[in-house]
A and B are shown apart, each in its own frame.
Chain A
């Protein structure tokens, strides 16, 4: 090529692998370092940006970057095993090679949020891009720039709950309000009342907002949008960062609206299917927005104004 080839991945080496959640849909956090020291600086990212990882011979996939911004070419992603590339990534060992290109996309405007209260809401594997932002905000250098920080996260089953050790540690912090939940059990006709997790009490299913929170309890059996109604985060001088499956986002948005949040306070990241990541290949569009270039970070207000198929 006579010019820089934006599609050319740099090689990177696996330095660490952690199993975050087991079961049929395991989640692993993988850490890579870009091999060529001269190329590492260009991988400095901002919270919310994404990276494209190659398993050479199988293909490329797009992942939210969950590591803290750095100039050492260190890239961490958490991936659920769902397809060809993630299947290969889950079989990686320390020392194996992958390809990386990026970082791409628009970041969360964390600097504009200084002085505000922040509420993070993650559902399922949607916690991964949200984690990139709360980890940044919770660093000693950044934490003092923000007001109250609340984190609400839920998964389908106890086995699906990711980052368990990390949450255990975060549960002891007094500068973070942590709330966790596990979905209701499912019967043939939908969710069944009762506890999915024996020592996590159920919320009031028919009227989540009326749930009385027992002293000292911050873990429940509930869907994430219901837990939002239980926690009742206040919209004054505050920002929400949320991500999850489209159905969860829909109900989280409705729950927030009930609590008085306006759509321009609610940030999310769309994770549409992508190939090029740079606004050429077409597929990630929502109306005239390319998620890869104009996003993936959008406010709910922006999303509500799109010609949105989903």
Chain B
């Protein structure tokens, strides 16, 4: 139906869709968990916050798992190189995420305040650590990872865990936290009843919106004025076999902004990133809660799309080897697998979206202190 080149572009787009869907849904769960100890003080308040995401967070998390599976199926090189290359970072993310399902479910099983407070902090870790590490990882993808491939296409790494943290990658990590905390506070604003929790969420949301704007601008400045960026040297065969050894890359300062000069329409993405955060800020201050949530969503879409579009066609450049960088044209599955997986996605993704929408609609409405006190099904 589609040729290999088109399939690769479609799957690059679908990878973006999955990441964005993860940020838009589980993103607010992560943000809410990060905010939990700060916006809610009493047990009743904390239960309001937890139950604002309780019924739906589990489904949201599947975007992350599906993201992993889809990258495995469509971009096996990316799956193989990135997760083993960022090994300890990935362990941190998994260890933190493991705390979430248990935290949500087990916290309410005992009334002991120490037990509950312990799980509150576990949920906080389960929110803030993945948010931070995802951002740091994206920063490392932008600046290139220290790996090379041998002639068997086996990956080797020169980096260390601490080497992942540079000023630029920390800006990316903090931007990720600010973006998801903004999204989480916007979610709390529409999902919990007016009162102390709502007021505190609004204050944190204001701060997060301002930080998002500042950090996104700082990240942009880094990309524009430091020597971050790669470009392909020589010919590209967009329908060639997936073998990164056949591509030659070089480090080129400012190359991540080259696409915007080539295709000015791509500026929509960064504008959405900034504009969305501004709308969210106004929405939060003026108490127009739907605008705040729409703004934080748009900002997340814009920020993630900016990363993808800036790097295109790169997916994971190597900072140490000219013939190892992974691009849209050299790191995908075979044409056949991309085609089959596209068919499966086109059939099942609409079904998933339909019942997810139904689940959110069924659970619609603000969580109240009264309901928390009386509903035996609440966490």
- Report whether chain A binds chain B: no
Binding site for A on B (CB under 8 A): none
